[in-house]
Amino acid sequence: MSRFASLALGLALWGISTGVMAEGVQRIVLNAKMEQECTACHIAYWPNFLPTSAWKQVMDSLDRHYGADASLSAADQKEITDWIVANSQEFGEVPPGNRITKAFWFTRQHGTRHISADVWSRQSVKSPSNCQACHVNAAEGDFNEHKVRIPR
């Protein structure tokens, strides 16, 4: 798939889950178990943020989840994985390390042309993975660029 096609598909999928859509179409609702488990440490990321194959790799390595042990019971891991697989798509390339912040669509939207490099090191932001620092409604899946507030 060409980079342009990957970007177009990624943006379309992003729009579907973030409310950038026609009036009356509902946004996806996160799996309750996933939301509970993920938000113990960070925002529950939306299934369209990574290709399905990347999500499978993430879910298969929870015992070493980006430097932490995020292991779940077999039943919980299966429930969450099944939900993510059902709600994600295999689009674009798997980003290095399965990191959302390294995905083409993310770097395109959050690169230095759009966001000053010093923003990521601010105490109020800390890192590119801290979506809710700037996207005030990120926990609800609303990443509308008109509602972004970059903190000082």
Assess if residue 45 is contained within a domain. Answer: yes
Task: State residue 6's pLDDT score.
Answer: 52
Q: Is residue 80 part of a domain?
A: yes
Report if residue 40 sits inside a domain: yes
Rounded CA-CA distance 35/128 in Å is 20
Range of the domain at 122: 3-147
Instruction: For residue 65, list its beta bridge partners.
Output: 68
Per-residue pLDDT of the chain (152 residues; tens, 9 = 90+): 555 555 555 555 545 444 443 344 457 899 999 999 999 999 999 999 999 999 999 999 999 999 999 999 999 999 999 999 999 999 889 999 999 999 999 999 999 888 998 999 999 999 999 999 999 999 888 999 899 999 98
Domain annotation covers residue 62: yes
Task: Let me know if residue 114 belongs to a domain.
Answer: yes
Please tell me the predicted confidence (pLDDT) of residue 100: 95
Which residue in the block uniquely carries the two structure tokens 């042990």? 69
Query: Domain count of the chain?
Result: 1
Contact 55, 14 (CB under 8 A): no
Q: Is 110 part of a structural domain of the chain?
A: yes
pLDDT at position 27, please? 73
Q: How far apart are CA 20 and CA 15, in angstroms?
A: 5
Structural domain contains residue 36: yes
DSSP state of 22: -
CA distances from 66 to 5, 40, 99 (A): 29, 15, 9
Look up residue 64 and give its DSSP letter.
G
The three-class DSSP label of residue 100 is: helix
Bridge partners of 135, per DSSP, are: 148
Residue 152 lies in a domain: no
